[in-house]
Amino acid sequence: MKIAVVGATGLVGTEILKVLAERNFPVTELIPVASERSVGKTVDFRGKAYPVHGVQEAIKAKPAIAIFSAGGTTSLALAPLFAEVGTTVIDNSSAWRMSPLHKLIVPEINVHVLTKADKIIANPNCSTIQMVVALYPLHQKYRLKRIVVSTYQSVTGTGKAAVDQLMNERKGIPGTNVYPHPIDLNLIPQIDVFLDNGYTKEEMKMVNETRKILGDDRVQVTATTVRIPVVGGHSEAVNAEFHEEFDLDAVYDLLRQAPGVVVEDDVKASRYPMPLYAQGRDEVFVGRIRRDETQPKTLNLWVVADNLRKGAATNAVQIAVCLVKRGLV
């Protein structure tokens, strides 16, 4: 099976290669793809160096699956070209997520909606993925009414240049800044650009993507997204109101049984999810599970995941695994 990874030299692309190897994905031919300036470089996969190819060469190879992590503009231009030659594209950018013609997939929730006709499949935003993985088993039983979420997102969500800015500031070294303010010893309550309604694009992604993944436009979502000086791992304080009353013990049981979820919740031992310990892991970690004592049918959760793994690379590879298992490629 020929597999192309478009954006193979970036942070997410590198993680995609790692996850493909870790999961023993049946790759018979790997085609790493990057911009022209990276053509001729090599990437490592299963202990072997593979040369980076240009886009046209990759399209001519007609891979079965192309996993994209190259930005929205690139995806809009190139994903249809791969699809035209029969390749199934799994795209990590925001380009196709809200298109009514394309599926937005989190395997633990809605992979069953995919068909052979779906040649461009959207991977959700990292902060949306971890939240819906945690909330979906509860939504199935108690029906979500409203979500209030505040995120604490690491600099790897912006890319390598953001990691460099944080490290340069920490060492007192001048360099190019990708944020409008210092990030070391600081928090920036802005992720992506501000929209006319006063929310950022990232905040509205969480609103719209959550509804699409759950298949329910009635779920109310409001978000505040914040960039923090952490290298890897996004954290979220989630306040979820349900239509039905819940039993707290039953909530714990549902989360412990949920695919892709790990409950870490022992406050007496100071045990709760933290981004430092989520790095390199594929699971979504949930803790600080407690009732909101100000109103009924409402739960507080603390949700943490590695944004480069489950928030991007792992989710994309899981989709690819499902495509193969279901004979859709």
- Span 223-263, pLDDT tens digits: 999 999 999 999 999 999 999 999 999 999 999 999 999 99
Helix (H) or strand (E) holding 325: helix 314-325
Considering the domain architecture, whether residues 76 and 134 belong to the same structural domain is answered as no
Per DSSP, the three-state class of 298 is strand
Residue 16 reports pLDDT greater than 90: yes
Considering the domain architecture, whether residues 174 and 97 belong to the same structural domain is answered as no
Residue from 272, 260, 262 nearest 302 by CA:
272
Number of domains in the chain: 2
Considering the domain architecture, whether residues 175 and 294 belong to the same structural domain is answered as yes
pLDDT tens per residue across span 182-214: 999 999 999 999 999 999 999 999 999 999 999
Considering the domain architecture, whether residues 273 and 132 belong to the same structural domain is answered as yes
Note whether 32 and 58 are within 8 A (CB): no
Burial class (CB in 10 A: 0-12, 13-18, 19+), 268: exposed
234 labelled catalytic: yes
Structural domain span for residue 139: 127-308
**Identified catalytic residue from 126, 139, 243, 322:** 126
Considering the domain architecture, whether residues 131 and 94 belong to the same structural domain is answered as no
Considering the domain architecture, whether residues 172 and 304 belong to the same structural domain is answered as yes
Considering the domain architecture, whether residues 101 and 195 belong to the same structural domain is answered as no
Considering the domain architecture, whether residues 72 and 133 belong to the same structural domain is answered as no
Reported pTM: 0.96
Q: Which two three-digit tokens encode residue 70?
A: 């190259």
The CATH number of whichever domain residue 281 belongs to comes to: 3.30.360.10
Q: Report the C-alpha dihedral over residues 44, 45, 47, 52, rounded to 10 degrees.
A: -40
What is the dihedral sign for C-alpha 170, 172, 178, 183?
A: positive
Considering the domain architecture, whether residues 22 and 101 belong to the same structural domain is answered as yes
Considering the domain architecture, whether residues 211 and 120 belong to the same structural domain is answered as no
What confidence tier does 37 reach under pLDDT thresholds 50, 70, 90? confident
Considering the domain architecture, whether residues 175 and 298 belong to the same structural domain is answered as yes
Instruction: Please state, rounded to an integer, the average pLDDT across all residues of the chain.
Output: 97
Q: Tokens 């039953």 appear where?
A: 250
Considering the domain architecture, whether residues 241 and 301 belong to the same structural domain is answered as yes
Specify the range with the lowest mean pLDDT, choosing from 5-9, 33-37, 241-245, 293-297: 33-37
pLDDT tens per residue across span 113-145: 999 999 999 999 999 999 999 999 999 999 999
The CATH number of whichever domain residue 23 belongs to comes to: 3.40.50.720
**Identified catalytic residue from 53, 102, 139, 234:** 234
